[in-house]
Structure 1
Amino acid sequence: MSSRTPRECVALAVDASADQDDRADAIHDLKMANECDELAELASRDELDDELRQQALRSLGTPQCDSMLRRLVENDSLDRSLQREAENLLGEMEDA
């Protein structure tokens, strides 16, 4: 992970004035650090760009974050397209 804290990564990811690549890198840093709560928070943020929300959601598709992904699916806390993507991702993980 970079020298940024998880809180700094979330702040950068949601900063609409920041460079898109830097925002994506911040989400990647959260994935590498297994910061599942922060990734779930980003995936659930309506004001975040769809592309970044999808990246955060896909980043939850790891054994370390599978319980958080399952919680998102069960709570039905995502918009319809992300909800389907989360269900598919969880199904793929369970089939593996």
Structure 2
Amino acid sequence: MSSRTPEECVELAVDTSADPDNREDAIHALKMANECDELADLVSNDDIEDQYREQALHSLGTPQCDSTLQQLVEQQSLDSSLQETAEKLLQKINDN
């Protein structure tokens, strides 16, 4: 992981005044550290732009985060496009 803590990465990812590349790097750092719960929180956060929610969702598409992704799918609390993406990612993990 980067020199940032998971909490700092989340703060940066949701900071609308931060540089977009830094926000994306923060989400990537969460993925590399398998911070599944933090990524799921970003996906569920309606206050951040869809592109970052989508990136966080794709970051959950790993075997290490499959249970967290499963919970998101089962909750059915995401917007329809994110819900559909989550279901596809989960299916892809389950097929492997």
TM bracket (short chain): over 0.9
Matched, 1:58 2:58: yes
Instruction: Tell me the residue number matched to 2:5.
Output: 5
Where do residues 11-30 of structure 1 align in structure 2 (5 Å cutoff)? 11-30=11-30
Distance 2:94 2:65 in 1: 13
Q: Unaligned regions of 5+ residues in structure 2, if any? A: none
Partner AA of 1:28 in structure 2: H
Percentage identity across paired residues of the two chains:
68
Q: CA RMSD in A?
A: 0.5
Separation in structure 1 between the aligned mates of residue 77 and residue 60 of structure 2, nearest angstrom: 15
Give the Cα–Cα distance (whole angstroms) in 1 for the partners of residues 77 and 41 of structure 2: 10
Q: TM-score, normalised by structure 2?
A: 0.98
- Secondary structure at the residue paired with 1:57? helix
How many pairs does the alignment contain? Answer: 96
Please give the secondary structure, in 1, of the residue aligned with 2:24.
Answer: helix
TM-score by length of 1: 0.98
Q: How does 1:1-96 map to 2 (within 5 A)?
A: 1-96=1-96
Q: CA deviation at 1:95?
A: 1.0
Following the alignment from structure 1 to structure 2, what is the Cα–Cα distance between the partners of residues 16 and 53? 13
Q: CA deviation at 1:47?
A: 1.2
